[in-house]
Structure formats: structure tokens, C-alpha cells
Amino acid sequence: MDHATIRALKNALRKDMRKRLAQVPADIVRKESNIVIQKLFAMKEYQQSRNISVYISMPSGEVSTTEIIRDLFDKGKKCFIPRCDGNVMEMVRLVSWDDYKALPTNKWNIPEPLLDEARENALQSEGLDLVIVPGLAFDGEGWRMGHGKGYYDRYLRKVADWSASAGKPPPITVALALSEQVIESPVPRESFDQKPHYVITPTGVIE
């Protein structure tokens, strides 16, 4: 299948998923988020990781990560979050819960550090042990489709290269999914798409 066909399939699926996710009630998102997060906390990969990056969730339609951020500080782990500049995403450090609460919101209404603010960059310090990945749709094999900007696919390649040059294993990647985000048909994919090691859903873990 050629690139244009796959791109068209992805765009159609994105449109459908956004419509479906907009209709998921807030109490279901809360309930499913809690189940997924407890499964994450129970994973040895999470427990043993020290440097963790986590996406900051949108106001609706995806697993909320607020409690993960709180837990990282409670457990004394280092918390890194995305900061985007054009097409480039970096993971920069949050130093406290108050730091998180004080973040300004970007055009998607998601808290994000300002570009001109000096912050520790994960790839200029110890790297990352675990990357918690968002997504729009996931299939039964654990393949992920993002929002179409390619931020995570590019960043995961970059962090894998960084880890190799630093003599470290690449980070474990864990995606979080609501029930509505897991689809029966295969997610359309291209050569650059990165498959997470794990996808945690309310009913189980896809590896």
C-alpha cells in the first residue's frame, strides 16, 4: 500500500476516533483512567524506573495522567514532560507538583512549559528509563496511531540513538488507552511508526 493511501486511511480513522472520543462521558474517562493508572503503578517497569517522561493529558478523550505526575513526585522519581518547538519535541523536567500546577496552557489547552524557560532536558542529563505515550487509536497487536504530528515517533528514534551512544538500553515505552481507543481492525501503519512495548487498557495489557 502506498504512502498516500495509508495517509488517507489514517486521516479517516483520526476523524472517526475524534468524534467517538468526544462522546465518551467524563465519568467514564475518570473511571477508566483510574483502572489504567493502577495497572501502570503495578508494573515492575514503572516501579524500577527513575527517569520517566509522561504526556500531559488533554481535558477529555484520553487517559488522564494527573495522578501519574503526582505519584512520580511522591515516589521521588524524576518527571519529564513534553515541550514542542515547531516540529521538535523535547522532554523537560518538572521539579514539583507546584511547578506542574503553575504551568501555562498551550493552544490545545494542555499545560506546557514556556520555550524560553531554562529546564533540565532528559537527553542532556541521564536520559529516560520509561516513556509514557499517548495515542488516538490502538489495535489488538498494540500498534498505535497518534494525532498525526509524528512527535513521538521522531522522539523515540532520537532517544534510542541517544541511549545507544550513551551505552544504555532504550527506554521502555508504555501507552495508555481508554476502551474506546482500542479498535478491532489493524491500525494503518508506515515504516516510521513505532510500536510501544506495552499498551495498558482498562481490561488488560497488550504486549
Does the annotation list 13 as a binding residue? yes
pLDDT of residue 134: 94
Does the annotation list 157 as a binding residue? no
Does the annotation list 103 as a binding residue? no
Does the annotation list 146 as a binding residue? yes
pLDDT of residue 7: 86
Q: What is the DSSP letter of 121?
A: B
| AA identity, residue 70 | R
Residue 84 contacts residue 200 (beta carbons within 8 Å): no
pLDDT of residue 39: 98
Does the annotation list 164 as a binding residue? no
**Which alpha helices (DSSP H) does 23-50 contain, by range?**
26-42, 44-48
Does the annotation list 100 as a binding residue? no
Does the annotation list 7 as a binding residue? no
| AA identity, residue 77 | K
36, 47, 204: which is closest to 133 by C-alpha? 36
Does the annotation list 144 as a binding residue? yes
pLDDT of residue 197: 96
Domains, the chain, with CATH or none? 3-206 (3.40.50.10420)
Backbone dihedral region for residue 86 (phi beyond 0: left; psi -120 to 50: alpha; all else: beta)? left
Give average pLDDT by consecutive 10-residue segment, the chain, 207 residues: 85 93 95 98 98 93 96 98 93 97 90 93 95 95 89 92 94 97 90 90 95
Does the annotation list 46 as a binding residue? no
Q: What is the DSSP letter of 192?
A: T
pTM of the model: 0.93
Q: Residue 126, Cβ neighbours under 10 Å: how many?
A: 13
Does the annotation list 145 as a binding residue? yes
The whole-angstrom separation of Cα 104 and Cα 114 is 7
39, 34, 32: which is closest to 179 by C-alpha? 32
What lies within 8 Å, CB to CB, of 13 at 6+ separation is 136, 137, 145, 183, 187, 188
pLDDT of residue 87: 87
pLDDT of residue 60: 85
Does the annotation list 56 as a binding residue? yes
Does the annotation list 152 as a binding residue? yes
